[in-house]
Amino acid sequence: MAIRTILTVPDPVLKQVSKRVDIVTDETRALMDDMLETMYAAPGIGLAAVQVGVPIRVIVMDLAKEDEKPNPQYFVNPEILETDDETQTYEEGCLSVPDYFDEVERPKRAKLRYLNYKGEQVEEWAEGMYAVCIQHEMDHLQGTLFIDHLSRLKRNFAINKVKKAKKKDAA
């Protein structure tokens, strides 16, 4: 396993639409292992493959709290089959937009279909924080960041904040 570099805005790779994975292979699992290690080191609760420069439809998440045993989840080719009309607003952040948080409204529940770590198909409902996180990560697969759900003013502010921090770190 290896920690990979997380791309940040305005890197154009983050705007790419990720490609489907034909089959879950050892190579796919190695990528997911690296992504999980990278996500834990960041630290974060979700990471899409495109965020580490690999534009394929792969996501890892772990919603366990600090005092809980890790509970890694793996999603290959995730898709939302249906959502509730009811929505929830949650303050989101993103490893690709470091140190910026804002509220985003999303469906409260989503029915998912995906392949797990072993390549088995899973269908289930996600709700609460799980629903928020999986929808956020699935946006990445379409080249969408959470700041794309905000006003242009807020989006530009977030991007400029990240650019400014990069310049400061480089100096």
Domain with residue 22: its CATH number is 3.90.45.10
Residue 85 lies in a domain: yes
Q: Is residue 6 part of a domain?
A: no
Give a yes or no: residue 7 inside a domain: no
- For this structure, is 103 an active site residue? no
Domains of the chain: total: 1
Taking alpha carbons only, the member of 54, 148, 37, 38 closest to residue 92 is 148
Closest residue by Cα to residue 46 from 123, 138, 125: 138
In a domain, 119, yes or no: yes
Whether 171 has a pLDDT exceeding 80, the answer reads: no
The CA distance from 161 to 60, in Å, is: 26
Q: pLDDT tens across 73-125, in order?
A: 999 999 999 999 999 999 999 999 999 999 999 999 999 999 999 999 999 99
Residue 64 has pLDDT above 90, yes or no: yes
Which one of 82, 86, 120, 137 is the catalytic residue? 137
- Structure confidence at residue 169 (pLDDT): 83
Q: Which domain, by its residues, includes 139? A: 12-170
pLDDT tier at 1, thresholds 50, 70, 90: confident
The confidence band for 166, taking pLDDT boundaries of 50, 70 and 90, is confident
pLDDT of residue 96: 97
- Domain presence at residue 161: yes
Residue 78 belongs to a domain: yes
3-state secondary structure of 102: strand
Tracing tokens 């997380």 back to the chain, one arrives at 6
Report yes or no on 151 lying in a domain: yes
Q: Does residue 75 lie within any of the structural domains? A: yes
Per-residue confidence band for 168, with pLDDT thresholds at 50, 70 and 90? confident
Distances (CA, A) of 75 to 9, 144, 155: 23, 18, 28
The predicted model scores a pTM of 0.95
